[in-house]
Structure 1
Amino acid sequence: MRILAVDDDPVFLMLLQHVLASLGYRDLICVNSGSEALALLRDPRHKFDCLLLDIEMPGMNGIELCRRVRALPSRNDLPIVMITAMKSIEFVEPAFRAGANDYVHKPIDELEMQTRLRMVGDLIEERRRRSTAESRMSTDFGLPVLNISFDEPVKLTEVGSVMDWLALENYALTLGRLRLSGHGVIAFRVANAQAIYCSTDAIGYVDTMANVAAVIDAVLRPGNHLIAFAGQGEFVAMVQRGDLDPQLLEDQIELALDRYAQMHEALGIPLPRVQVGEVKRAGLFTRTSVKRLFHEARQSARDQVAVR
């Protein structure tokens, strides 16, 4: 794994180099500013598998750098881990909104860093396998190919507050039980997603899910929220509003999706039908895990298919 680390503190970069080397990650490039990092990232001769970005830097901070990296077509899916000494949650959410995949604190804990980089490694390997398969099919048939499974939580780009599924899980984990109890989790299920998946190619399916994501993002405003596509035609949103009415949201989503009806009819793709689950919350004094909370929200949306 080739890593680019960006931090304005040269002493910390020396420490980081030592920690990563002890974990077996020795292919590390260090720079002191966002402008230096962007110069490297814009140069196609430089290949990187992961970015480690400090949030607090003079000039261009790490969140702005993250946002600019995501705007680079060749780097928009590069794994980004934010590193910072700031503990306040007010700095965590903007980092994930800007496109960060994960978040660790200073001082660096070796075990935590090892866990994060292993997750990054798994993500890289999965993308490499898919890229190899897509390249092979593209060569064989001479057409652009996107190869995804129905269960896959594929990344939906350029959609408001939508982030990677793994990034949303990581964000929820950073909140801790006290802060997590102040958020609600609500799921949205495209009831006919399997039919949509079977009626078109992968690109058409992803485009359709992106349209659904944009509609969900719109109806959840103006409340603060983050959304992720979980695969299987399902979306999970973390919200701070407690007054969400699932039936009202369904009606609003149905009305908004109607504008795509003519296009879907022409393409022979079923128009998405979205079911909305109940808002789930973690109790302050319970031990509900993030995965369990997300599962309960998704199950609630699935149950509504039979109820309504």
Structure 2
Amino acid sequence: MMKILAVDDDELILELLVESLRASGFSSVQTATSANAAARLISTATEPFDCFLLDVVMPEVDGIALTRWIRKSPLYGAAPIVMITSMAEKAFIDRAFRAGATDYVTKPFDAVEVTTRVQLAARQVQANRAVHDAGMQVQALRAKIDAQHHTPLSEPVALNDVEGLIDFLALQNYLLQLSRGSFLATSVVALRIVDVGNIYARCSPALFRDVLADVAESALGAMSGSQCIMAYTGNGTFAGVVACSDRNDFEDVELMINLTIERLELVDDQQRPLEVRVAMGTPRAIGVMQSGRAAVAKMHRAIEDISWNMPQLATLKTKTKRGAGMLLRALTQAI
């Protein structure tokens, strides 16, 4: 049975949510009329909650701040958090997903839509439980199981400790929630680790996650000025949504990412140097007339393109060295 916490300062909304959910078979629903009351319920719960339905605009502490607080708990790093709010502006949607929301529903909502989203969340909870159970087994027999239960390279492993990186499903939900006008000057972009199979083979599961996290942090840092929201999609590939449509703005981003990674001096489990390089695809402008589904489809095409048409490592190395030399000369001349 899935345990749900619904938080809204409007008691009529809470009554509607409870009735709708119970009619769909979700009988374990608790409610709170403020973020502070919700925090008390979460802190004193004898069994953790499985899913959260949060309003954004509430007195004193809003739902976005509550989302950040929930995500800080190790118990709720992957729990579904569905925002249910009247705030449909892109700025609020951006803030919610960056804080850790996995889905977003605008008021006035349809009861069927909400229960459908919760049913999807229930599937996510079941998947999370399976992953958790497997993880407990791995911890119990770490040395033996590491070799046998290496997470498949194709799986979009969780990287919850990287600020600005969200779940791939959440990234798709984010695009679906944006209105057509919000796509103006917005692009999707994909990047991939070159020769990721070799890196994967040389690393333990924990170390491979660390490498992915280092790449993600380097990429997000290089694109910090573009309000980037990014997710790991598996196979060493990341997808991002950026508030920019000009390809020239990304001319040096790939170089900046690779220079940052190079400075980290990454090594494998045998302490041998890991040559980690990233290839970045061409940003694809979504266009003001595109729908959310079309935007998701364009993101998937960007991922496929970087997977099938990635430049060779030798080309990337040459480009990185040349770019580094140009930057060094520019700095020297400036001095």
TM-score by length of 1: 0.92
- Report the Cα offset of residue 154 of structure 1: 1.7
Whether the 8 Å contact between 1:247 and 1:276 is mirrored in structure 2 is: no
- Equivalence for 1:72: 73
- Report the Cα offset of residue 144 of structure 1: 9.5
Change (3 A) 1:38 1:271: farther
Residue number among 287, 304, 307 corresponding to 2:310 in the alignment: 304
The runs of at least 4 consecutive aligned structure 1 residues that moved more than 3 Å come to 140-147, 243-247, 262-266, 283-288
- Equivalence for 2:234: 231
Q: CA RMSD in A?
A: 2.3
Q: CA-to-partner distance for each residue in 1:181-239, whole Å, 9 max, x for gaps? A: 43101111001221111111111111100000000011112221111111110011111
Change (3 A) 1:116 1:147: farther
Code of the aligned partner of 2:261? L
Residue number among 250, 275, 280 corresponding to 1:276 in the alignment: 280
Q: State the SS of the aligned residue for 1:222.
A: helix
Residue number among 186, 189, 194 corresponding to 1:186 in the alignment: 189
Change (3 A) 1:140 1:247: same
- Report the Cα offset of residue 97 of structure 1: 0.8
- Report the Cα offset of residue 141 of structure 1: 4.8
| Structure ID, larger Rg | 2
Report the more deviating stretch, 179-188 or 232-241: 179-188
Change (3 A) 1:91 1:296: same
Whether the 8 Å contact between 1:134 and 1:147 is mirrored in structure 2 is: no
Change (3 A) 1:269 1:132: farther
Separation in 2 of the partners of 1:282 and 1:111?
Answer: 30
- After TM superposition, the structure 1 = structure 2 runs for residues 151-190 of structure 1, keeping only pairs within 5 Å, are 151-190=154-193
- Equivalence for 1:103: 104
- After TM superposition, the structure 1 = structure 2 runs for residues 277-296 of structure 1, keeping only pairs within 5 Å, are 277-285=281-289, 289-296=294-301
Q: State the SS of the aligned residue for 2:44.
A: coil
- Equivalence for 2:329: none
- After TM superposition, the structure 1 = structure 2 runs for residues 38-117 of structure 1, keeping only pairs within 5 Å, are 38-43=39-44, 45-117=46-118
Separation in 2 of the partners of 1:157 and 1:27?
Answer: 27
Separation in 1 of the partners of 2:125 and 2:209?
Answer: 20
Residue number among 223, 241, 248 corresponding to 2:244 in the alignment: 241
TM-score by length of 2: 0.85
- Report the Cα offset of residue 263 of structure 1: 4.0
- Report the Cα offset of residue 305 of structure 1: 2.2
Separation in 1 of the partners of 2:275 and 2:160?
Answer: 21
Q: 1:211 and 2:194 equivalent?
A: no
Structure 1: any 5+ residue segments left out of the alignment?
none
Q: State the SS of the aligned residue for 1:42.
A: helix
**Percent of pairs identical after alignment?**
31
Change (3 A) 1:179 1:157: same
